């Protein structure tokens, strides 16, 4: 299974796994149109927006949960 980490850039994540865009947006991050998304890691971008370590870890966990749900749906099809 693929895993998203806090060291990946938002652009990399959104390019590979566009389905997690809604999770990112729900967290209050609008990375889809941000120029920083191409070079800032999840951790860097979140810290710029005032996230603490616990909130960053929750976001990463939520993105991975979204991937798991998507993978489960593909396997059942």
Count CA within 13 A, CB hemisphere, residue 24. Answer: 25
d(CA 74, CA 55): 29
Instruction: Provide DSSP, 7-50.
Output: TSBHHHHHHH-GGGHHHHHHTT--GGG-GGGGT-BHHHHHHHTT
Please say whether the beta carbons of 67 and 2 come within 8 A: yes
Res. 65: pLDDT tops 70: yes
pLDDT tens digits for range 5-56: 999 999 999 999 999 999 999 999 987 778 888 899 999 999 999 999 999 9
User: pTM, whole model, 2 decimals?
Assistant: 0.86
Q: Say if residue 55 is exposed, middle or buried (CB neighbours under 10 Å; 0-12, 13-18, 19+).
A: middle
């Amino acid at each position: 299974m693929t895993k998203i980490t806090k060291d990946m850039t938002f652009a990399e994540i959104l390019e590979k796994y566009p389905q997690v865009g809604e999770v990112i947006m729900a967290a209050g991050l609008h990375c889809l149109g941000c120029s920083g998304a191409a070079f800032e890691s999840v951790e860097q971008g979140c810290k710029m927006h005032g996230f603490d370590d616990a909130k960053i870890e929750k976001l990463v966990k939520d993105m991975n949960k979204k991937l798991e749900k998507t993978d489960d749906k593909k396997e059942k099809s």
